[in-house]
Amino acid sequence: MKLFSFPAFAIEKAIAKRMLTLMSPHKEWFAQRWAQKPYKKSFVENKAMPLVTLLAKGKTWDDETFNAEMLAWDVLFYDAEVEVLRPLIEGDGLLQLMQKNVPAERVQALLAKLESQRHS
């Protein structure tokens, strides 16, 4: 996937803000991992940035391209990660303008991906 050139620091800021409102045990689980540079880098590059790309470009991609990119985004999410990422899809805070005009079915597809691709 060709990632959207959205600044990583803005995503990290949105994630840090979201961490403040996480409930236990998700808050502790995520904060512990977020403090580790390799995890943080991996989370931003493999989970958050592709999500932002799908949101940003999902407004203009045709169905075939969107579906192919969704399929190519092959990651598994931990419960706490879902809690961190869901608000990005739902239009919370800093990235709110990006979600504007994303077709509802694509928002639902992204939410479904978070729910279905979980670590067991």
| pLDDT tens digits along 3-50 | 556 678 888 888 988 899 999 999 999 999 999 999 999 999 999 999
Beta strands in the chain (DSSP E): none
In the chain, where the domains are located: 8-116
- Average pLDDT over every residue of 72-89: 92
In this prediction the pTM is 0.85
* CA–CA distance, 19 with 43 (Å, rounded to integer): 14
- Residue range 75-100: mean pLDDT, rounded: 78
**Confidence band of 97 (pLDDT split at 50, 70, 90):** low
Amino acid 94: pLDDT: 45
118 phi/psi in degrees, rounded to 5:
-110, 150
